[in-house]
Chains A and B, each alone.
Chain A
Amino acid sequence: MAAAGGDARAELDVDVDVDAGPGQEKYDAEENVKIICLGDSAVGKSKLMERFLLDGYRPQQLSTFALTLYKHAASVDGKRVLVDFWDTAGQERFQSMHPSYYHKAHACIMVFDVQRKVTYKNLSNWYKELREFRPEIPCIVVANKIDADMKMTQKSFNFARKFNLPFYFVSAADGTNVVKLFSDAIKLAVAYKQNSGDFMDEVMRELENFDLQQKGEDFSDKEESCPEEKPPST
């Protein structure tokens, strides 16, 4: 697929239902953010999620979409934020994710296992795919399972530095830096949403407006009012 830039509009012609999945219109609403997790099988994505949410998590298995959704209510600068964490539910085994997985995401947490080199090597593939769909969203690189070998925390991993991405050493088992990781991801997602300069977002908005004008109907406030799409209040 073409890289970000002038070809983005052409990419949108690809016949894929990006809105497939649980009502993604809601991510346009101000208080909703979507954070996606990426990384190889068995790097501990779900375990990180569960460590952060503890008993507070209510995962929704959406097997039709090969996806697990974790809902979380957070507070950023005194404002309530509803976060949907998207976890892959094994979809990573198809070597790539469905475009709807990336659609309207505001931040990404990319995980590898410090015990397994191959999961680190594969980061470049995940990152490439992420940037095809979301050229600008914040992405955090996470080295998980440091409890298995603390010596790994004294080593340097160039991947994050190379792309100028934030990098965390974490352990889902003993909890090291898990809460910090997710709190920071939520802050980054909210900040991104507020000053979204993402070219794809602009194109999407333009296309949506274009569509509405063509129908000659005044649905200009459509984006704000999709009450049926809101998650149940927490």
Chain B
Amino acid sequence: MTCTAKKCGIHFQPPSIILIYEDQNQEKTRKRIMPIRNFSKFSDCSRAAEQLKNNPRHKAYLESVSLRQLQKLYSLLKGHLKGQSLAQSLEQVQREEAIDPEEDMNKLDDKELAKRKSIMDELFEKNRKKKDDPDFVYNVEVVFPQDEQVESCGWDAESDEGF
């Protein structure tokens, strides 16, 4: 079966993940409701997302849905179960999504580092020019003039003498 995911969202009551997808064989748009069981406000969202993605019944349908997105949906549900408003949960998810430019990632453990990397990978994949893209160019050279007129990055200033 070949299907292309169009939209993926969550339903709080009864808790379920909803997928709108296109069945390429029949050129039809379909909706799949995947009920969420055994999930509480204490559950681990990453694990729940992984389990759903690897569930033999849903696996084929969720291939083009990223693990990150499923995690986000579970986080929203978790927020709801904790009694947060949707706005609060969304804000929290967004906060977790943000990369702290001051954070020293050398000090993170494997799991935390992998989490940051997967957040940054989303942008990487979005901006990525792949080898098979029709407009792919192997050697892209761009000259960025670095004369005295350019503005300082502001990262040197306070401890320039440290370098």
* Known interface pairs A41-B106, A155-B152; A116-B127 also in contact (CB < 8 Å): no
Indicate if the CB atoms of B140 and A179 lie closer than 8 Å: yes
Q: Residue on A with the closest CB to B150?
A: A156
Q: Does A14 contact B (CB under 8 A)?
A: no
Q: Does A194 contact B (CB under 8 A)?
A: no
Instruction: Choose from A40, A117, A158 the contact partner of B163 (Cβ within 8 Å).
Output: A158
* Known interface pairs A40-B105, A42-B105, A42-B113; A116-B99 also in contact (CB < 8 Å): yes
Q: Does B12 contact A (CB under 8 A)?
A: no
Q: Does A58 contact B (CB under 8 A)?
A: no
Residues facing A in B85-129 (CB within 8 A) are: 99, 101-108, 113, 116-117, 120, 123-125, 127-129
* A151–chain B nearest beta-carbon distance, Å: 9
Indicate if the CB atoms of A117 and B127 lie closer than 8 Å: no
Q: Does A174 contact B (CB under 8 A)?
A: yes
In the bound complex, what is the Cα–Cα distance between A224 and B153 (angstroms)? Answer: 48
Which among A4-12, A75-83, A165-173, A215-223 touches the partner chain? A165-173
In the bound complex, what is the Cα–Cα distance between A55 and B132 (angstroms)? Answer: 11
* B7–chain A nearest beta-carbon distance, Å: 26
Instruction: Choose from A41, A95, A120 the contact partner of B105 (Cβ within 8 Å).
Output: A41
- Chain B, interface SS category: loop
Indicate if the CB atoms of B128 and A173 lie closer than 8 Å: yes
* Contact flags B128-153 to A (C-beta < 8 A → 1, else 0): 11010000011111101010001111
Indicate if the CB atoms of B113 and A124 lie closer than 8 Å: no
Q: Does B160 contact A (CB under 8 A)?
A: yes
Contact residues in A for B152 (Cβ distance below 8 Å) = 155-156, 158
Number of interface residues of B (CB under 8 A): 39
* A175–chain B nearest beta-carbon distance, Å: 4
Q: Residue on A with the closest CB to B157?
A: A158
16 contacts between A and B (CB under 8 A): A41-B105, A41-B108, A115-B101, A116-B101, A124-B163, A147-B123, A148-B127, A153-B144, A155-B150, A156-B150, A158-B156, A162-B163, A172-B124, A177-B141, A179-B138, A179-B141
Known: A155-B153, A178-B140, A179-B141. 5 other contacts (CB 8 A): A41-B106, A42-B116, A116-B99, A172-B124, A175-B129
In order of increasing CB-CB distance, the 5 nearest A-B pairs are: A155-B153, A179-B139, A173-B127, A158-B156, A147-B127
